Copies of this chain bind each other. A is one copy, B any other.
Amino acid sequence: MRKNITLKHIAKELEVSISTVSKALKNSEEIGKDTKEKVQAFAKLYNYRPNNIAISLKNRRTKTIGVIIPDIIHHFFTTVFRGIEKYANRHGYNVIICVSDESFDREVINMEMLANGSIDGFIMSLSAETQLKNDFNHLKEVTEQGIPLVLFDRVTDEVKCDKVIINDKEIAYKAVQMFIDEGKKRIALISTDDYLNVSAKRAIGYQEALRANNLEINESLVLILPYFGDSSNAISEFFDNNDFDAMLCVNEIFAVQCMREAQERGKRIPEDISVIGFTNGILSQYSSPRLTAIAQHGEQMGETAAQMLIERVEAELELDEDEENFRTEVIQATIINGGTTSNP
């Protein structure tokens, strides 16, 4: 008989999704009785035991941290990783990374693989699809088995664990206020879908700042772009159809694309259009003019996450389920003045 059966095996065998298996094993009401019984019977037959994870962990420390990030293309995640690595190495820990590619299934598979005795704890940022599905059973599984977990940046209230976030709403508010102080009035927001909780928070900050300054909230000045893929046509159309004098972009790729579009149309930056983008990454640094950027202090975020995790690992506390002593650390983002805004 097969050893180490995983959620993926069960899903494949029964031709259902990993999410269905995970929910069925949790006895979720979302899943039909038939499917639940089938999954549970199969899991029993093949001796599926999520708990062997916890057992193997108690037996030995691996001195290794597992990191799962949504992608390694966006500079922000790589800087967080550097911070994690820096702190971890200094304290005698290795770091393993897996990439979810914004996919729920891949996040679950990676988590199962690493939880299988390879690591002492997880540091993670949720995939876009996990946030869209709003399904966090795989995280709960891990925390319930006593494996320490720290979520950063893309977090959820649904999972009780340590978290590190930035003040997304407040810093978006501040950026919009900066535009208004320059005399700008028609401020656009270039964002992604709201199921990414950080985008949602930034949108609220944007709206609150407009409201506080008695400026109209104009839905047509909000452009929602896909997180991946070519957005140049959508941006070009947005320029065709709208009149604005400032753009707040939720990532630096959007920001440099908007700058290029403006420049190709003969607009002067910042005289005609000011631009602020999230993350002072490699694109912001080398853009011309240099982008006024919101520094998310990814490295600091990573160091904080690693510190929280290692403290938790080394404390070896059996956490009481009622005793919610989890912390949420908020890293203060800052705006770095570049040449795409005019300082008052």
Contacts and interface: CB of A to CB of B under 8 A. Distances in A.
Contacts of A207: none
Interface in A76-119: 78, 81-82, 85, 89, 94-99, 101, 106, 109-110, 113-114, 118
26 contacts: A3-B60, A64-B113, A72-B72, A72-B78, A72-B97, A73-B82, A73-B282, A81-B99, A85-B99, A89-B106, A94-B98, A94-B110, A94-B113, A96-B96, A96-B97, A96-B114, A97-B97, A97-B98, A118-B118, A253-B282, A256-B286, A257-B286, A260-B286, A260-B288, A282-B282, A288-B288
Contacts of A60: 3
Interface of A: 3, 60, 64, 72-73, 78, 81-82, 85, 89, 94-99, 101, 106, 109-110, 113-114, 118, 253, 256-257, 260, 263, 282-283, 286-288
B94 A109 contact: yes
B283 A286 contact: yes
Nearest to A77: B72
Given A89-B106, A106-B89, A113-B64, A96 B98 contact: yes
A81 B94 CA distance: 20
Contact of A97 (B99, B257, B263): B99
A260 B285 CA distance: 11
B85 A78 contact: no
A99 to B, nearest CB: 7
Contacts of A263: 288
Contacts of A72: 72, 78, 81, 97
A338 to B, nearest CB: 13
A148 to B, nearest CB: 19
Contacts of A78: 72-73, 78
A73 B97 CA distance: 14
Contacts of A282: 73, 253, 282-283
Contacts of A110: 94
Most chain B beta-carbon neighbours within 10 Å: one of A89, A95, A256, A286? A286
Most chain B beta-carbon neighbours within 10 Å: one of A97, A106, A110? A97
A263 B288 CA distance: 10
A282 B228 CA distance: 13
Contacts of A95: 98-99
Given A89-B106, A257-B286, 4 more contacts: A72-B81, A73-B282, A282-B283, A286-B287
